[in-house]
A and B are shown apart, each in its own frame.
Chain A
Amino acid sequence: MAGPHDHDHHHDHDHEHPRLSELQLRVKALESLLVEKGLVDPAALDEFIDIYETKVGPRNGARVVARAWTDPAFLDWLRRDASAAIKSFGFEGRQGEHMVVVENTETVHNLVVCTLCSCYPWPVLGLPPVWYKSAPYRSRAVIDPRGVLADFGTALPENVEIRVWDSTAELRYLVLPRRPAGTEGLSEDELADLVTRNAMIGVEVVAASESLQ
């Protein structure tokens, strides 16, 4: 369903996408019905969309990671009580009520999936990308994690053990990637800029920025 036409169609080429057109009408009808019945406040819909489109996203998680890389006391807190440590940034609530942070090391690499649906730590990573919710990832992450990593161009040494975390309850997992070499002089903000969403899911590792290489 993803495509370049991310705008409303007011003219006659909707017939090229009959299913999309049908979905647009179905959602519009549902929204007007629920608003008329007093079950939905239309301004609340705009608020939900604005929050997850412009405010809550993976930059939150990147700040947590950068803090863990630079502040040993915070790292210790994260290990003991990830929910509380993360809440100290104001990142809390829906789909992040119970957080666990899993740390990558020289010999262990962590990968997070939800094989049964789409569980994902919203307060620190925002809404999940399409691939995280899709059959190719959900089916393969547990049986062929190295194959999934290869889809992202990630190759780990043979001796690295891969731990896959299947989010089957209301615990939400955040991967703490390894800090790249050569970043000793960077500030916390500069470090956060290096941390990608994909590294915090575990399908990539964090690379030093190109200017450092």
Chain B
Amino acid sequence: MNGAHDMGGMHGFGPVQDEPESDRFHGEWERRAFALTLACGGLGQWSIDQARYARELQPPPQYLTNTYYEQWLHGLETLLVDRGLVTAEELQTGKPAGPPPAGIKALPAAQVVKALQQGSPYTRPVDHPPGFAVGDRVRVRCDHPLSHTRAPRYVRGRTGTVALYHGGHVFADTSARGERGIADHLYNVAFDSTELWGIQSQPGAVHLDLWEPYLEPA
């Protein structure tokens, strides 16, 4: 979707302000919002792409004025309600209005380290051969879906060169709809800065990881 999250190439947000390496969280609520998001992710009820989409669906004025962990908090509350794990009323009161959902168990503290070490590998076999090879010229399809996609606006319709082939990876667009088993070929595509930014370009290139369904031969 063409939401406020798709920021590449926008102007007007001002300079980047560095912060010390030792800064991790800014306030106790950020620690808790972070940990709640990871703990609830451990319930296995949604994919990383569904989590991203829940944040992207916020109206642009809200997205642009939230701090980072407010995006996470909004996404977490949305997903919990969507999956029927809590109700909107329970979020308001902070008190359970009914029994806990059957068959869903909290991730125990003793399994946290293991869960993080395992992560979620995204490589999968694909049932058709790759359509492109390193060195091929490819164009990003001009597609503006209302649903989740990982092809940013600034490369749509632009032509680049396949720089790396990453193998089959879970396809973000279908994963955001809850279909977590669908994979497609993933390529790293290099776009010359001139192709993307024309008169304002600086010498160099921008590389993006793009799935085969985003691409057509150029």
Q: Residue on B with the closest CB to A144?
A: B202
In the docked arrangement, what's the CA distance between A145 and B8, Å?
Answer: 11
Contacting residues, chain A, for B26 (C-beta < 8 A): 1-3, 6, 130
In the docked arrangement, what's the CA distance between A57 and B8, Å?
Answer: 27
Residue with the highest number of chain B CB atoms closer than 10 Å, among A8, A28, A135 = A135
- A33 adjacent to chain B (CB < 8 Å): yes
Chain A 139-157 per-residue mask, 1 if CB under 8 angstroms from chain B, else 0:
1111111101001100000
Of the candidates B68, B108, B119, B186, which one forms a contact with A44 in the assembled complex, judged by CB atoms under 8 Å apart?
A: B108
Chain B 21-50 per-residue mask, 1 if CB under 8 angstroms from chain A, else 0:
101111111111111101110110000100
The SS class assigned to the B binding surface is mixed
Contacting residues, chain A, for B35 (C-beta < 8 A): 44-46, 48-49
Question: Contacts A140-B16, A166-B207, A171-B166 given: A53-B31 contact, CB under 8 Å?
Answer: yes
Interface residues of A in 26-53 (CB under 8 A from B): 26-34, 36-41, 43-49, 51-53
Q: Which of A69-77, A87-95, A174-182, A183-191 contacts B (4 or more CB under 8 A)?
A: A87-95
Q: Residue on A with the closest CB to B48?
A: A170
Residue with the highest number of chain B CB atoms closer than 10 Å, among A7, A169, A197 = A169
Interface residues of B in 119-176 (CB under 8 A from A): 119-123, 150-152, 154, 164, 166, 169-170, 172
Contacting residues, chain B, for A3 (C-beta < 8 A): 26-27
B8/A162 in contact, CB under 8 A? no
Report the interface size class on chain A. Answer: 35 or more
Question: Contacts A27-B73, A37-B96, A94-B120 given: A45-B68 contact, CB under 8 Å?
Answer: no
Of the candidates A135, A138, A164, which one forms a contact with B205 in the assembled complex, judged by CB atoms under 8 Å apart?
A: A164
Q: Residue on B with the closest CB to A112?
A: B207
Residue with the highest number of chain A CB atoms closer than 10 Å, among B25, B85, B119, B200 = B119
Contacting residues, chain B, for A95 (C-beta < 8 A): 119
Question: Contacts A135-B7, A169-B150 given: A97-B121 contact, CB under 8 Å?
Answer: yes
B188/A171 in contact, CB under 8 A? yes
Q: Residue on B with the closest CB to A149?
A: B16
A44/B16 in contact, CB under 8 A? no
- B204 adjacent to chain A (CB < 8 Å): yes
Question: Contacts A97-B121, A130-B19, A161-B203 given: A117-B55 contact, CB under 8 Å?
Answer: yes
Question: Contacts A140-B16, A163-B204 given: A24-B29 contact, CB under 8 Å?
Answer: yes
B150/A30 in contact, CB under 8 A? no
B9/A164 in contact, CB under 8 A? no
- A115 adjacent to chain B (CB < 8 Å): yes
Contacting residues, chain A, for B70 (C-beta < 8 A): 23
Residue with the highest number of chain A CB atoms closer than 10 Å, among B28, B48, B209 = B209
Contacting residues, chain A, for B150 (C-beta < 8 A): 116, 168-169
Of the candidates A129, A138, A164, A166, which one forms a contact with B204 in the assembled complex, judged by CB atoms under 8 Å apart?
A: A164
A48/B33 in contact, CB under 8 A? no
In the docked arrangement, what's the CA distance between A172 and B52, Å?
Answer: 16
17 more A-B residue pairs beyond the given contacts A39-B106, A48-B112, A135-B10, with a C-beta to C-beta distance below 8 A:
A7-B28, A24-B29, A27-B32, A30-B36, A31-B36, A34-B36, A38-B105, A39-B86, A41-B106, A44-B108, A48-B39, A49-B25, A93-B118, A127-B24, A144-B202, A169-B166, A198-B18
Can you report 18 residue pairs joining A to B where beta carbons are below 8 Å apart? A24-B27, A24-B28, A33-B90, A33-B94, A34-B80, A39-B40, A39-B100, A43-B108, A93-B117, A115-B6, A116-B52, A116-B152, A136-B15, A136-B17, A139-B9, A162-B202, A169-B211, A170-B170
